[in-house]
Amino acid sequence: MSDGPATPALVILDCDGVLVDSERLMQVEFSAMLHEIGLPMTPAETARTFLGRSMPNCLRIIEERLGHAAPAGFLDELQRRAFAVFARDLVPVAGAPTLLDALDAAGIPYCVASSGSHEKMRTTLGRTGLLARLDGKLTSSLEVPRGKPCPDVFLLAASRMGAIARDCVVIEDSPLGIEAAVAAGMRAIGLADLAPAARLAEAGAWMVVSHLDAVAPLLGIASRTRTMTPA
């Protein structure tokens, strides 16, 4: 792949933190539950530790730090609480719908590769009105032997879309996701938010942006501007 702007054959998007603004909500619930089981961590600390990881990998880390098994049903209860908050407060990440518009206008295929389960992706994308645009294009780390930072989920997503890894661009908000994209041989654009820009760059991001509106020009395509329809 060249180092300059080049229109990709496929754009692979992470879900949480890239398409749906769920990470901040999730970390608050995660922090609260960890306090309850005797592992106090702030939301900022949970983000640094768990951002980008699958839930089974998160549970493994929790149990290592506790020195014993987590309470039965811990992950199920975390999902229940998170889904309740998502139903009330979840919105798309700023610029996500317009980025999808730009990709559609340019004829560039896109899909999602997430550490979250299919149930979680369908719930969050459905809540934010994005599922119709991505249905049938979802790949979960739970479908592959190894989660991020291993490349498996991105390679599976590309294969399903008929794309070659070197022709794909990944958009990620976690250092682990950036590392996974690089390991897959894909260019990675980091979206700085819970993870600072420096960490994304250190993980190997080709470019780092602070807003999704900056992505389309990096791909050599025109940005799209949504206009509000008068009520």
Give 161-177 pLDDT, tens digit per residue.
Answer: 999 999 999 999 999 99
Q: Do 42 and 119 sit in the same domain of this protein?
A: no
DSSP structure string for 138-171: EEEGGGSSS-TTSSHHHHHHHHHTT--GGGEEEE
**Which position has the token pair 């498996």?**
152
Query: What is the distance between the alpha carbons of residues 76 and 59, in angstroms, rounded to a whole number?
Result: 11
Domain with 213 in it: 10-22+91-218
Q: Do 111 and 47 sit in the same domain of this protein?
A: no
Query: What is the distance between the alpha carbons of residues 30 and 20, in angstroms, rounded to a whole number?
Result: 17
pLDDT at 52: 87
| Pair of tokens at residue 150 | 């291993």
Q: Do 121 and 204 sit in the same domain of this protein?
A: yes
Q: Which CATH number fits the domain that encloses residue 131?
A: 3.40.50.1000
pLDDT at 231: 33
Residue 72 inside a domain? The answer is yes
Number of folded domains in the chain? 2
pLDDT at 2: 44
Query: Directed axis angle between helix 175-183 and helix 152-160, to 10°?
Result: 60
- The number of helices, as runs of H, and strands, as runs of E, in the chain is 11, 6
pLDDT at 3: 53
Q: Do 113 and 80 sit in the same domain of this protein?
A: no
pLDDT at 130: 98
Q: Which CATH number fits the domain that encloses residue 49?
A: 1.10.150.240
Q: Do 84 and 177 sit in the same domain of this protein?
A: no
Q: Do 52 and 17 sit in the same domain of this protein?
A: no
Low-confidence spans in the chain with pLDDT less than 70: 1-6, 224-231
| Pair of tokens at residue 1 | 């792949």
Phi, psi of 207 (to 5 degrees): -145, 155
Looking at 45, 71, 89, which one is the last position of a domain? Answer: 89
Phi-psi region of 134 (alpha: psi -120 to 50; beta: other; left: phi over 0): alpha
